Amino acid sequence: METKPSLVDNIKGIMKSGEEFVKGAFLRISDSPNHNPIEILKRLQREAFSDLMKLRDRQDKVESVLSFYKFGKGFPFQEATTRVKAVIDVVAALPYVEDDFLQAMGSLDRTGTKTGINTRFIFETVLRQKDALVAELTTTQQRTAHQSRIFESPLSLTTLMYSANINYWLSLVSIPLGARCANFAQGHNIGGFSSNGPPSFNQYHNCAAGLTVKGINLSASLAELASGPATQQATAGSKCCLATFGQVSYHPIDGLKITLSGLWQIYRSSPRLAKLGSLAIPLGRLREQKPSEVMQNIADNNSAGTIAVMLDSEFDESTKIKGWFEVEKSTARSVRWGMSIFDTPENELGWGLRMGGMGKGQLNHLHLGGFLNFDLGRGAKLQPGVVYVMEGRSHFPALVFESSWSM
């Protein structure tokens, strides 16, 4: 006789069937490749490796491009570094006159006091570890002589210079735009001469080339400067300027330096030079220069020219004695001269004295002046001074304030 299963046996059977069902479900889930931890790690590893390979390929491409430009033959800016310098010059004058203020400002202008604000940005890029490419951008705001209006020039490229140092003894300088004698003067380079020198030394030219030879105690510089017609409407017979600049520096003992500088400048009507100026130097059109007094006075004289000589002595790098003269041959011969002595040590109170004059036809000009130099540090200088001007029957004193900040 068959025994019927009891209620307890039925409950145990149901519980056993449920346990087997749950175990089977978990085993199927664990056996699935999408939820297996080992398979998940393998899949993540494959994806990460693929991404790393893509990044590696991109890095190799970037490195190949950089290595081509950095180590490629003939690349001119290999390991080039650029230094930027900003110079702000501010000059103000207050003449003590009772009648004609504009005439007094014109007399001050002839003393070398150019009132206004002049800002220069100098970019110097070192090439091949010994050469230099220099660009100067200038903006000026000055009051024109004998006029009440303000002359303003926008920020423009005024000088472009390349200096190649062949070795310690020889260096070559090429200036395709905005050349001045100051660019070839030792110790001046792009900055220029001070106002206590011949005006022709700071005159702009279209282009120039020169060289400098250095010795143990002696160094010399020689340069040729050229200028074509100042306007685009100039004809073939327009005036052209050719100038030869030379400088010799001698160091007899430590702390003493004697420098002799000279300029010979002529103006001629030359069709070849006129065509050369407009064809070979188009960059000269980028900035129109104000016509100087020299150019205006000799516009109708074919044999016009200028001779300028300056002797400069420097003691202990702070005390300087300077003397110069300039003779201009034109329709009305003029002679200018000047002398100055100043002591301007760094971070100390300095002083200076100067005198000069000009004779041109019936016009006789003489001025005497002095100033104090305050070195404020961080490239800032302040020079308050006084000048006494005697021009014809006009005699008057004036206060002059000059400040310079370089950074």
Residues 32 and 130 in one domain: no
Residues 264 and 309 in one domain: yes
The pLDDT value recorded for residue 287 is 46
For residue 30, pLDDT beyond 60: no
pTM exceeds 0.85: no
Tell me, yes or no, whether 6 lies in a domain: no
394 - beta bridge partners? 391
Q: Give per-residue pLDDT as tens, 41-56.
A: 677 677 777 766 776 7
For residue 262, pLDDT beyond 60: yes
Q: Give per-residue pLDDT as tens, 311-346.
A: 999 988 789 999 999 998 876 778 999 999 999 888
The H or E element containing residue 104 is: helix 101-110
The pLDDT value recorded for residue 11 is 65
CA separation for the pair 308, 326 (Å, rounded): 4
Three-state SS for 127-185 is ECCCEEEEEEEEEEEEECCCCCCEEEEEEEEEEEEEEEECCCCEEEEEEEECECHHHHC
- The domain containing residue 22 runs over which residues? 18-65
Contact (Cβ atoms closer than 8 angstroms) between residue 113 and residue 387: yes
Residue 171: which CATH number?
2.40.160.10
Residues 52 and 168 in one domain: no
The pLDDT value recorded for residue 76 is 54
* More confident site: 114 or 51: 114
The pLDDT value recorded for residue 364 is 86
Contact (Cβ atoms closer than 8 angstroms) between residue 284 and residue 276: no
pLDDT bin (cut points 50, 70, 90) of residue 141 is confident
Stretch 233-259: mean pLDDT: 81
Stretch 177-200: mean pLDDT: 75
Q: What are phi and psi of 69, to 5 degrees?
A: -75, -30
Residues 89 and 55 in one domain: no
Tokens of 363: 């016009």
314 - beta bridge partners? 257, 320
Number of separate domains in the chain: 2
Tell me, yes or no, whether 70 lies in a domain: no
Tell me, yes or no, whether 96 lies in a domain: yes
DSSP states of 265-327: EEEEE-HHHHHHHHHH-GGGGGSPPPPPHHHHHTTT-TT-EEEEEEEEEEETTTEEEEEEEEE
Tell me, yes or no, whether 72 lies in a domain: no
For residue 216, pLDDT beyond 70: yes
For residue 129, pLDDT beyond 70: yes
CA separation for the pair 400, 113 (Å, rounded): 8
Residues 180 and 43 in one domain: no
Q: Give per-residue pLDDT as tens, 272-301.
A: 544 444 334 334 444 444 445 444 444 444
CA separation for the pair 216, 254 (Å, rounded): 12
Q: Give per-residue pLDDT as tens, 60-106.
A: 776 676 665 555 555 555 556 788 888 889 888 888 887 778 888 88
* More confident site: 210 or 202: 210
DSSP letter at 205 equals: B
* More confident site: 289 or 207: 207
The pLDDT value recorded for residue 280 is 42
Neighbours of 225 (CB within 10 A): 25
CA separation for the pair 175, 163 (Å, rounded): 9
Residues 192 and 300 in one domain: yes
Tell me, yes or no, whether 7 lies in a domain: no
Residues 350 and 214 in one domain: yes
